[in-house]
Amino acid sequence: MDHPVPESSLLASLPPARIVPADELATACASGRRLAVLDDDPTGNQTIKDLPVVTRWAPDDLRWAMRQDTAAFFVLTNSRGLAEPEAARLTREVARACLAVAAEEGIDLAFASRSDSTLRGHFPLEPDLLAAESAAAGQPVDAVIINPSYLDAGRITVDSVHWVRTDAGMVPVGSTDYAADATFGFSSSELTAWVAEKTGGRVDRSAVGRITVAQLRTLGPEGVAAALAELDDHGYVVTDAVTDDDLRVLALGILAAERSGRRFVYRVGPSFVRARSGQVAAPPIDDATLRALLPPTDTPSPGGLIVVGSHVSLSSRQLRLLTERVGAVELELVPAKIIAAGGAAEDHLRDLAERAAAALPQGNVVIKTSRELVRGDDGEQSLAISRRVSVAVVELVRMIMERQRPAFVVAKGGVTSSDVATEALGIRRAWVRGTLLPGIVSLWEPVDGPATGLPYVVFAGNVGTDDSLADVVQRFDQARTFVP
Protein backbone atom coordinates (compact mmCIF):
# COMPACT_ATOMS: atom_id res chain seq x y z
CA MET A 1 0.00 0.00 0.00
CA ASP A 2 1.20 3.50 -0.79
CA HIS A 3 2.31 5.57 2.18
CA PRO A 4 -0.67 7.62 3.46
CA VAL A 5 -0.60 11.33 2.65
CA PRO A 6 -1.79 13.98 5.12
CA GLU A 7 -5.02 15.46 3.80
CA SER A 8 -3.82 18.99 4.50
CA SER A 9 -0.77 18.57 2.26
CA LEU A 10 -2.85 16.97 -0.51
CA LEU A 11 -5.14 20.01 -0.62
CA ALA A 12 -2.65 22.75 0.25
CA SER A 13 -2.01 24.03 -3.28
CA LEU A 14 -5.65 24.16 -4.40
CA PRO A 15 -7.39 27.50 -4.99
CA PRO A 16 -10.23 28.35 -2.59
CA ALA A 17 -13.60 26.76 -3.20
CA ARG A 18 -16.15 28.69 -5.26
CA ILE A 19 -19.28 29.13 -3.13
CA VAL A 20 -22.60 28.22 -4.77
CA PRO A 21 -25.79 29.40 -3.01
CA ALA A 22 -28.18 26.58 -2.15
CA ASP A 23 -31.18 28.32 -3.74
CA GLU A 24 -29.31 28.79 -7.04
CA LEU A 25 -28.56 25.09 -7.15
CA ALA A 26 -32.11 24.05 -6.22
CA THR A 27 -33.65 26.32 -8.86
CA ALA A 28 -31.35 25.03 -11.60
CA CYS A 29 -32.02 21.39 -10.75
CA ALA A 30 -35.79 21.89 -10.50
CA SER A 31 -35.87 23.29 -14.05
CA GLY A 32 -33.44 20.73 -15.48
CA ARG A 33 -33.98 17.18 -16.67
CA ARG A 34 -35.48 14.83 -14.10
CA LEU A 35 -32.73 12.64 -12.68
CA ALA A 36 -33.32 8.89 -12.72
CA VAL A 37 -30.70 7.31 -10.46
CA LEU A 38 -30.14 3.63 -11.20
CA ASP A 39 -28.52 2.49 -7.97
CA ASP A 40 -26.46 -0.69 -8.11
CA ASP A 41 -27.00 -1.19 -4.37
CA PRO A 42 -29.18 0.68 -1.86
CA THR A 43 -26.42 2.82 -0.34
CA GLY A 44 -26.40 5.54 -2.98
CA ASN A 45 -29.16 7.47 -1.22
CA GLN A 46 -27.32 7.98 2.06
CA THR A 47 -26.38 11.57 1.21
CA ILE A 48 -29.92 12.82 0.51
CA LYS A 49 -33.34 13.14 2.13
CA ASP A 50 -36.98 13.10 1.06
CA LEU A 51 -36.52 11.48 -2.34
CA PRO A 52 -38.60 8.52 -3.56
CA VAL A 53 -37.05 5.13 -4.22
CA VAL A 54 -38.57 2.19 -6.06
CA THR A 55 -37.22 -1.33 -6.05
CA ARG A 56 -39.28 -2.48 -9.04
CA TRP A 57 -39.73 -0.87 -12.44
CA ALA A 58 -43.26 -1.81 -13.32
CA PRO A 59 -44.97 1.17 -15.00
CA ASP A 60 -47.09 1.96 -11.93
CA ASP A 61 -44.05 2.05 -9.64
CA LEU A 62 -42.08 4.31 -11.98
CA ARG A 63 -45.10 6.51 -12.55
CA TRP A 64 -45.48 6.93 -8.76
CA ALA A 65 -41.84 8.00 -8.49
CA MET A 66 -41.96 10.39 -11.44
CA ARG A 67 -45.13 12.08 -10.19
CA GLN A 68 -43.52 13.10 -6.91
CA ASP A 69 -42.51 16.75 -6.68
CA THR A 70 -38.77 16.06 -6.61
CA ALA A 71 -35.83 16.71 -8.92
CA ALA A 72 -34.72 13.07 -8.76
CA PHE A 73 -35.79 9.56 -7.87
CA PHE A 74 -33.97 6.30 -7.24
CA VAL A 75 -34.46 2.93 -8.92
CA LEU A 76 -32.75 0.20 -6.94
CA THR A 77 -31.29 -2.39 -9.34
CA ASN A 78 -28.78 -4.14 -7.05
CA SER A 79 -26.82 -4.93 -10.19
CA ARG A 80 -23.49 -4.98 -8.36
CA GLY A 81 -24.56 -8.31 -6.93
CA LEU A 82 -25.19 -9.80 -10.40
CA ALA A 83 -22.95 -11.45 -12.96
CA GLU A 84 -22.21 -9.26 -15.98
CA PRO A 85 -24.73 -10.81 -18.44
CA GLU A 86 -27.55 -10.46 -15.92
CA ALA A 87 -26.48 -6.92 -15.03
CA ALA A 88 -26.55 -6.03 -18.72
CA ARG A 89 -30.03 -7.47 -19.22
CA LEU A 90 -31.31 -5.68 -16.13
CA THR A 91 -29.83 -2.31 -17.07
CA ARG A 92 -31.43 -2.45 -20.52
CA GLU A 93 -34.77 -3.43 -19.00
CA VAL A 94 -34.78 -0.64 -16.43
CA ALA A 95 -33.63 1.99 -18.91
CA ARG A 96 -36.33 1.06 -21.41
CA ALA A 97 -39.00 1.05 -18.70
CA CYS A 98 -37.93 4.47 -17.43
CA LEU A 99 -37.81 5.97 -20.91
CA ALA A 100 -41.23 4.59 -21.80
CA VAL A 101 -42.96 5.94 -18.69
CA ALA A 102 -41.11 9.26 -18.97
CA ALA A 103 -42.38 9.62 -22.55
CA GLU A 104 -45.95 8.96 -21.39
CA GLU A 105 -45.57 11.52 -18.58
CA GLY A 106 -43.86 14.11 -20.77
CA ILE A 107 -40.68 14.02 -18.70
CA ASP A 108 -37.16 14.49 -20.06
CA LEU A 109 -34.82 12.17 -18.15
CA ALA A 110 -31.13 12.25 -17.34
CA PHE A 111 -29.68 8.92 -16.22
CA ALA A 112 -27.24 8.48 -13.37
CA SER A 113 -25.56 5.12 -12.92
CA ARG A 114 -24.80 5.34 -9.20
CA SER A 115 -22.10 2.95 -8.06
CA ASP A 116 -19.41 2.46 -5.45
CA SER A 117 -17.26 5.39 -4.34
CA THR A 118 -14.31 3.00 -4.23
CA LEU A 119 -14.75 2.15 -7.94
CA ARG A 120 -16.25 -1.33 -7.69
CA GLY A 121 -19.10 -2.29 -10.00
CA HIS A 122 -20.02 -2.97 -13.62
CA PHE A 123 -18.08 -0.31 -15.49
CA PRO A 124 -18.13 0.54 -18.38
CA LEU A 125 -21.06 -1.81 -18.96
CA GLU A 126 -23.81 0.09 -17.17
CA PRO A 127 -23.24 3.68 -18.34
CA ASP A 128 -22.53 2.48 -21.88
CA LEU A 129 -25.84 0.61 -21.96
CA LEU A 130 -27.72 3.62 -20.60
CA ALA A 131 -26.17 5.71 -23.36
CA ALA A 132 -27.12 3.12 -25.97
CA GLU A 133 -30.74 2.88 -24.76
CA SER A 134 -31.05 6.67 -24.68
CA ALA A 135 -29.77 6.84 -28.25
CA ALA A 136 -32.23 4.14 -29.32
CA ALA A 137 -35.01 6.30 -27.87
CA GLY A 138 -33.88 9.25 -29.97
CA GLN A 139 -31.79 10.89 -27.24
CA PRO A 140 -28.10 10.44 -28.22
CA VAL A 141 -25.60 10.91 -25.42
CA ASP A 142 -22.53 13.11 -25.81
CA ALA A 143 -20.44 11.69 -22.96
CA VAL A 144 -20.32 9.68 -19.76
CA ILE A 145 -19.36 11.96 -16.87
CA ILE A 146 -17.51 10.11 -14.10
CA ASN A 147 -17.43 11.38 -10.53
CA PRO A 148 -17.01 8.72 -7.81
CA SER A 149 -16.85 11.13 -4.87
CA TYR A 150 -18.39 10.40 -1.51
CA LEU A 151 -17.28 13.42 0.46
CA ASP A 152 -19.00 12.50 3.72
CA ALA A 153 -17.00 9.28 3.87
CA GLY A 154 -13.70 10.83 2.75
CA ARG A 155 -13.58 9.71 -0.90
CA ILE A 156 -12.33 12.67 -2.93
CA THR A 157 -10.67 13.21 -6.32
CA VAL A 158 -7.77 15.61 -6.87
CA ASP A 159 -6.07 16.05 -10.25
CA SER A 160 -8.02 12.99 -11.45
CA VAL A 161 -6.55 10.76 -8.68
CA HIS A 162 -9.18 9.21 -6.43
CA TRP A 163 -8.34 9.10 -2.72
CA VAL A 164 -9.76 7.33 0.33
CA ARG A 165 -9.52 8.80 3.81
CA THR A 166 -8.15 6.41 6.46
CA ASP A 167 -7.13 6.90 10.08
CA ALA A 168 -3.51 7.17 8.90
CA GLY A 169 -4.21 9.69 6.12
CA MET A 170 -5.29 9.77 2.49
CA VAL A 171 -4.55 6.68 0.39
CA PRO A 172 -4.98 6.26 -3.40
CA VAL A 173 -7.96 3.99 -3.99
CA GLY A 174 -5.90 1.52 -6.03
CA SER A 175 -3.82 0.78 -2.93
CA THR A 176 -6.78 -0.06 -0.66
CA ASP A 177 -8.49 -3.35 0.14
CA TYR A 178 -11.37 -2.27 -2.11
CA ALA A 179 -9.15 -2.53 -5.18
CA ALA A 180 -8.49 -6.19 -4.35
CA ASP A 181 -12.21 -7.04 -4.64
CA ALA A 182 -12.64 -10.63 -5.86
CA THR A 183 -15.08 -9.61 -8.58
CA PHE A 184 -14.40 -5.96 -9.40
CA GLY A 185 -10.71 -5.53 -8.60
CA PHE A 186 -8.49 -2.92 -10.27
CA SER A 187 -5.08 -1.30 -9.87
CA SER A 188 -5.34 2.29 -11.13
CA SER A 189 -6.09 5.26 -8.87
CA GLU A 190 -5.76 7.90 -11.59
CA LEU A 191 -9.18 7.92 -13.21
CA THR A 192 -8.12 8.28 -16.84
CA ALA A 193 -5.89 5.21 -16.34
CA TRP A 194 -8.75 3.46 -14.53
CA VAL A 195 -11.05 4.02 -17.53
CA ALA A 196 -8.37 2.55 -19.83
CA GLU A 197 -7.92 -0.41 -17.46
CA LYS A 198 -11.62 -1.17 -17.10
CA THR A 199 -12.28 -0.85 -20.83
CA GLY A 200 -9.50 -3.34 -21.50
CA GLY A 201 -7.55 -0.77 -23.48
CA ARG A 202 -10.43 0.00 -25.84
CA VAL A 203 -10.25 3.58 -24.59
CA ASP A 204 -6.80 5.11 -24.30
CA ARG A 205 -6.30 7.23 -21.21
CA SER A 206 -5.27 10.15 -23.44
CA ALA A 207 -8.76 10.13 -24.96
CA VAL A 208 -10.48 10.59 -21.59
CA GLY A 209 -11.52 14.16 -20.80
CA ARG A 210 -10.68 15.76 -17.46
CA ILE A 211 -12.17 18.51 -15.32
CA THR A 212 -9.99 19.12 -12.28
CA VAL A 213 -10.85 20.75 -8.97
CA ALA A 214 -8.62 23.69 -9.88
CA GLN A 215 -10.68 24.21 -13.05
CA LEU A 216 -13.94 23.96 -11.10
CA ARG A 217 -12.76 26.63 -8.71
CA THR A 218 -11.21 29.01 -11.23
CA LEU A 219 -13.47 28.64 -14.27
CA GLY A 220 -16.81 28.04 -12.51
CA PRO A 221 -19.99 26.65 -14.08
CA GLU A 222 -19.45 28.60 -17.29
CA GLY A 223 -16.05 26.96 -17.77
CA VAL A 224 -17.51 23.51 -17.14
CA ALA A 225 -20.29 24.13 -19.66
CA ALA A 226 -17.79 25.37 -22.23
CA ALA A 227 -15.57 22.32 -21.78
CA LEU A 228 -18.52 19.97 -22.17
CA ALA A 229 -19.79 21.86 -25.21
CA GLU A 230 -16.54 21.08 -27.02
CA LEU A 231 -17.13 17.32 -26.95
CA ASP A 232 -17.58 15.92 -30.45
CA ASP A 233 -18.08 12.21 -29.83
CA HIS A 234 -19.41 9.96 -27.11
CA GLY A 235 -16.62 9.42 -24.63
CA TYR A 236 -15.67 9.66 -20.99
CA VAL A 237 -14.94 12.68 -18.82
CA VAL A 238 -13.48 12.23 -15.33
CA THR A 239 -14.19 14.99 -12.83
CA ASP A 240 -12.74 16.02 -9.48
CA ALA A 241 -14.43 17.01 -6.23
CA VAL A 242 -13.15 17.85 -2.76
CA THR A 243 -16.11 19.80 -1.34
CA ASP A 244 -19.85 20.01 -1.92
CA ASP A 245 -19.34 23.40 -3.55
CA ASP A 246 -17.07 21.74 -6.13
CA LEU A 247 -19.93 19.38 -6.97
CA ARG A 248 -22.42 22.24 -7.15
CA VAL A 249 -20.20 24.05 -9.62
CA LEU A 250 -19.96 20.84 -11.64
CA ALA A 251 -23.72 20.28 -11.51
CA LEU A 252 -24.49 23.85 -12.58
CA GLY A 253 -22.06 23.53 -15.48
CA ILE A 254 -23.59 20.25 -16.58
CA LEU A 255 -27.11 21.68 -16.37
CA ALA A 256 -26.05 24.67 -18.47
CA ALA A 257 -24.57 22.34 -21.10
CA GLU A 258 -27.77 20.27 -21.08
CA ARG A 259 -29.88 23.38 -21.59
CA SER A 260 -27.85 24.06 -24.73
CA GLY A 261 -28.73 20.61 -26.07
CA ARG A 262 -26.02 18.33 -24.69
CA ARG A 263 -26.99 15.06 -23.07
CA PHE A 264 -24.94 13.02 -20.61
CA VAL A 265 -25.02 9.83 -18.60
CA TYR A 266 -23.45 10.11 -15.16
CA ARG A 267 -21.37 7.34 -13.55
CA VAL A 268 -21.13 8.62 -10.01
CA GLY A 269 -20.80 8.06 -6.29
CA PRO A 270 -23.35 9.29 -3.74
CA SER A 271 -22.22 12.91 -3.35
CA PHE A 272 -22.81 13.88 -6.99
CA VAL A 273 -26.43 12.76 -6.68
CA ARG A 274 -27.00 15.18 -3.81
CA ALA A 275 -25.72 18.10 -5.87
CA ARG A 276 -27.50 17.12 -9.10
CA SER A 277 -30.81 16.69 -7.27
CA GLY A 278 -30.55 20.22 -5.85
CA GLN A 279 -29.93 19.29 -2.24
CA VAL A 280 -27.36 20.37 0.31
CA ALA A 281 -26.02 18.34 3.20
CA ALA A 282 -28.68 17.93 5.90
CA PRO A 283 -28.15 17.03 9.55
CA PRO A 284 -29.10 13.53 10.70
CA ILE A 285 -32.72 12.75 11.51
CA ASP A 286 -33.59 14.14 14.94
CA ASP A 287 -34.78 12.06 17.88
CA ALA A 288 -38.41 13.21 17.66
CA THR A 289 -38.68 12.15 14.02
CA LEU A 290 -37.07 8.83 14.79
CA ARG A 291 -39.48 8.16 17.66
CA ALA A 292 -42.45 8.95 15.40
CA LEU A 293 -41.37 6.19 13.00
CA LEU A 294 -41.19 3.52 15.72
CA PRO A 295 -44.10 1.53 17.19
CA PRO A 296 -46.33 3.47 19.64
CA THR A 297 -44.76 3.82 23.06
CA ASP A 298 -47.88 2.45 24.78
CA THR A 299 -47.33 -0.98 23.24
CA PRO A 300 -44.61 -3.50 24.09
CA SER A 301 -41.67 -2.61 21.87
CA PRO A 302 -39.51 -5.47 20.66
CA GLY A 303 -35.88 -5.05 19.81
CA GLY A 304 -34.42 -4.46 16.40
CA LEU A 305 -33.07 -6.92 13.86
CA ILE A 306 -29.54 -6.16 12.69
CA VAL A 307 -28.39 -8.12 9.64
CA VAL A 308 -24.65 -7.97 8.86
CA GLY A 309 -23.56 -9.43 5.53
CA SER A 310 -20.63 -7.19 4.62
CA HIS A 311 -17.18 -8.79 5.00
CA VAL A 312 -14.92 -5.75 4.68
CA SER A 313 -12.66 -5.26 7.67
CA LEU A 314 -14.46 -2.11 8.79
CA SER A 315 -17.77 -3.98 9.03
CA SER A 316 -16.17 -6.68 11.16
CA ARG A 317 -14.77 -4.07 13.55
CA GLN A 318 -18.15 -2.33 13.72
CA LEU A 319 -19.82 -5.64 14.52
CA ARG A 320 -17.37 -6.29 17.34
CA LEU A 321 -18.00 -2.84 18.85
CA LEU A 322 -21.76 -3.33 18.53
CA THR A 323 -21.71 -6.53 20.56
CA GLU A 324 -19.44 -4.92 23.15
CA ARG A 325 -21.52 -1.77 23.61
CA VAL A 326 -25.09 -2.86 22.95
CA GLY A 327 -26.81 -5.87 24.45
CA ALA A 328 -27.85 -8.22 21.66
CA VAL A 329 -28.29 -11.89 20.91
CA GLU A 330 -25.80 -12.74 18.16
CA LEU A 331 -26.57 -15.54 15.71
CA GLU A 332 -24.28 -16.68 12.90
CA LEU A 333 -25.31 -17.89 9.47
CA VAL A 334 -22.60 -20.29 8.35
CA PRO A 335 -22.00 -20.29 4.56
CA ALA A 336 -20.56 -23.82 4.63
CA LYS A 337 -23.95 -25.11 5.87
CA ILE A 338 -25.77 -23.12 3.19
CA ILE A 339 -23.79 -24.51 0.26
CA ALA A 340 -23.67 -28.05 1.66
CA ALA A 341 -25.72 -30.80 0.03
CA GLY A 342 -28.80 -32.27 1.70
CA GLY A 343 -31.11 -30.59 4.18
CA ALA A 344 -28.45 -28.90 6.30
CA ALA A 345 -29.32 -25.43 5.00
CA GLU A 346 -33.03 -25.73 5.81
CA ASP A 347 -32.36 -27.01 9.33
CA HIS A 348 -29.79 -24.28 9.93
CA LEU A 349 -32.14 -21.50 8.85
CA ARG A 350 -35.08 -22.82 10.86
CA ASP A 351 -32.97 -23.04 14.00
CA LEU A 352 -31.70 -19.47 13.59
CA ALA A 353 -35.20 -18.10 12.87
CA GLU A 354 -36.71 -19.69 15.97
CA ARG A 355 -33.90 -18.46 18.20
CA ALA A 356 -34.16 -14.93 16.77
CA ALA A 357 -37.94 -14.79 17.16
CA ALA A 358 -37.68 -15.94 20.77
CA ALA A 359 -35.08 -13.28 21.58
CA LEU A 360 -36.61 -10.22 19.84
CA PRO A 361 -39.32 -9.48 22.46
CA GLN A 362 -36.53 -8.98 24.99
CA GLY A 363 -34.10 -6.95 22.87
CA ASN A 364 -31.95 -6.67 19.77
CA VAL A 365 -30.88 -9.60 17.61
CA VAL A 366 -27.85 -9.65 15.32
CA ILE A 367 -27.77 -12.00 12.35
CA LYS A 368 -24.28 -12.16 10.90
CA THR A 369 -22.79 -14.18 8.10
CA SER A 370 -19.55 -15.93 8.96
CA ARG A 371 -16.60 -13.53 8.91
CA GLU A 372 -14.64 -16.09 6.90
CA LEU A 373 -15.14 -15.15 3.25
CA VAL A 374 -15.79 -18.15 1.00
CA ARG A 375 -14.24 -17.65 -2.44
CA GLY A 376 -14.58 -19.57 -5.70
CA ASP A 377 -11.93 -20.32 -8.28
CA ASP A 378 -12.59 -17.05 -10.10
CA GLY A 379 -14.66 -13.89 -9.85
CA GLU A 380 -17.77 -15.46 -11.34
CA GLN A 381 -17.73 -18.41 -8.93
CA SER A 382 -17.10 -16.08 -5.98
CA LEU A 383 -20.12 -14.03 -7.02
CA ALA A 384 -22.26 -17.18 -7.35
CA ILE A 385 -21.36 -18.27 -3.81
CA SER A 386 -22.16 -14.81 -2.51
CA ARG A 387 -25.56 -14.97 -4.18
CA ARG A 388 -26.37 -18.31 -2.52
CA VAL A 389 -25.51 -16.87 0.86
CA SER A 390 -27.58 -13.75 0.08
CA VAL A 391 -30.59 -15.93 -0.79
CA ALA A 392 -30.20 -17.66 2.57
CA VAL A 393 -30.07 -14.32 4.39
CA VAL A 394 -33.30 -13.27 2.65
CA GLU A 395 -35.06 -16.49 3.59
CA LEU A 396 -33.88 -16.20 7.19
CA VAL A 397 -35.16 -12.63 7.57
CA ARG A 398 -38.46 -13.63 5.99
CA MET A 399 -38.79 -16.53 8.44
CA ILE A 400 -38.04 -14.24 11.38
CA MET A 401 -40.63 -11.68 10.22
CA GLU A 402 -43.27 -14.40 10.06
CA ARG A 403 -42.57 -15.27 13.69
CA GLN A 404 -41.88 -11.86 15.24
CA ARG A 405 -41.92 -8.36 13.74
CA PRO A 406 -39.01 -6.27 15.06
CA ALA A 407 -39.20 -2.58 15.95
CA PHE A 408 -36.70 -1.74 13.20
CA VAL A 409 -34.34 -3.44 10.77
CA VAL A 410 -30.73 -2.49 10.08
CA ALA A 411 -29.04 -4.13 7.08
CA LYS A 412 -25.25 -3.87 6.86
CA GLY A 413 -23.66 -4.23 3.42
CA GLY A 414 -24.82 -3.13 -0.01
CA VAL A 415 -26.01 -6.46 -1.41
CA THR A 416 -27.42 -7.48 1.97
CA SER A 417 -29.46 -4.29 2.35
CA SER A 418 -30.85 -4.60 -1.17
CA ASP A 419 -31.87 -8.23 -0.79
CA VAL A 420 -33.42 -7.70 2.63
CA ALA A 421 -35.40 -4.69 1.40
CA THR A 422 -36.74 -6.16 -1.82
CA GLU A 423 -36.98 -9.88 -1.17
CA ALA A 424 -37.34 -10.34 2.59
CA LEU A 425 -39.44 -7.25 3.40
CA GLY A 426 -41.13 -6.81 0.01
CA ILE A 427 -40.49 -3.07 -0.22
CA ARG A 428 -41.46 -1.69 -3.65
CA ARG A 429 -41.86 2.00 -2.84
CA ALA A 430 -40.31 4.05 -0.07
CA TRP A 431 -39.16 7.52 0.89
CA VAL A 432 -35.59 8.11 1.91
CA ARG A 433 -36.10 10.26 4.99
CA GLY A 434 -32.49 11.14 5.68
CA THR A 435 -29.49 9.82 7.54
CA LEU A 436 -28.88 8.61 11.06
CA LEU A 437 -25.26 9.75 11.12
CA PRO A 438 -23.77 12.80 9.35
CA GLY A 439 -23.82 12.04 5.62
CA ILE A 440 -24.06 8.28 6.01
CA VAL A 441 -26.55 5.50 6.88
CA SER A 442 -29.93 6.22 5.30
CA LEU A 443 -33.34 5.59 6.85
CA TRP A 444 -36.16 4.44 4.58
CA GLU A 445 -39.86 4.77 5.28
CA PRO A 446 -41.62 1.98 3.32
CA VAL A 447 -45.01 3.09 2.01
CA ASP A 448 -46.39 -0.19 0.69
CA GLY A 449 -46.43 -3.91 1.37
CA PRO A 450 -45.85 -5.84 4.61
CA ALA A 451 -43.01 -3.54 5.72
CA THR A 452 -45.18 -0.39 5.75
CA GLY A 453 -44.31 1.54 8.89
CA LEU A 454 -41.18 -0.49 9.64
CA PRO A 455 -38.09 1.76 9.83
CA TYR A 456 -35.47 0.30 7.53
CA VAL A 457 -31.82 1.30 7.76
CA VAL A 458 -29.43 0.95 4.82
CA PHE A 459 -25.86 0.78 6.14
CA ALA A 460 -23.06 0.40 3.59
CA GLY A 461 -20.26 -1.99 4.38
CA ASN A 462 -17.44 0.47 3.87
CA VAL A 463 -18.47 3.66 5.67
CA GLY A 464 -18.31 5.09 9.17
CA THR A 465 -16.02 4.59 12.13
CA ASP A 466 -15.63 1.49 14.27
CA ASP A 467 -18.40 2.83 16.56
CA SER A 468 -20.94 3.77 13.87
CA LEU A 469 -23.05 0.60 13.90
CA ALA A 470 -23.32 0.70 17.68
CA ASP A 471 -24.20 4.40 17.51
CA VAL A 472 -27.08 3.72 15.11
CA VAL A 473 -28.54 0.88 17.17
CA GLN A 474 -28.21 2.91 20.36
CA ARG A 475 -30.17 5.75 18.75
CA PHE A 476 -33.02 3.33 18.10
CA ASP A 477 -32.81 1.85 21.59
CA GLN A 478 -33.03 5.29 23.18
CA ALA A 479 -35.95 6.23 20.94
CA ARG A 480 -37.98 3.06 21.54
CA THR A 481 -37.51 3.21 25.34
CA PHE A 482 -38.11 6.98 25.57
CA VAL A 483 -40.48 8.00 28.34
CA PRO A 484 -41.80 11.59 28.00
pLDDT digits (tens, 9 = 90+) for 291-334: 988 877 656 679 999 999 877 788 889 999 999 998 899 999 98
Query: What is the SS3 assignment for 410?
Result: strand
Residue 32, judged by CB atoms within 10 A of its CB (0-12, 13-18, 19+), counts as buried
Q: How crowded is the C-beta side of 128, counted as CA atoms within 13 Å?
A: 13
Q: How far is 105 from 110, CA to CA, in rounded Å?
A: 15
Q: How much is the pLDDT for 298?
A: 57
pTM greater than 0.85 (yes/no) = yes
Q: How much is the pLDDT for 194?
A: 98
Least confident of 129-138, 305-314, 427-436: 305-314
Q: Which domains does the chain have, with CATH numbers?
A: 7-276 (3.40.50.10840), 287-480 (3.40.980.20)
Average pLDDT score over residue span 51-67: 98
Tens-digit pLDDT profile for residues 70-79: 999 999 998 9
Q: How crowded is the C-beta side of 155, counted as CA atoms within 13 Å?
A: 24
Least confident of 115-119, 186-190, 292-296: 292-296
Could you tell me how far CA 74 lies from the centroid of its own chain?
A: 10
Sheet architecture: strand order including 155-158: 155-158, 161-166, 169-172
Average pLDDT over the chain reads 92
Q: How much is the pLDDT for 343?
A: 80
Tens-digit pLDDT profile for residues 196-252: 999 999 999 999 999 999 999 999 999 999 999 987 666 999 999 999 999 999 999
Q: How much is the pLDDT for 153?
A: 87
- Looking at 205-278, list the stretches that DSSP marks H as alpha helix, in order from N- to C-terminal side: 213-229, 244-259, 270-276
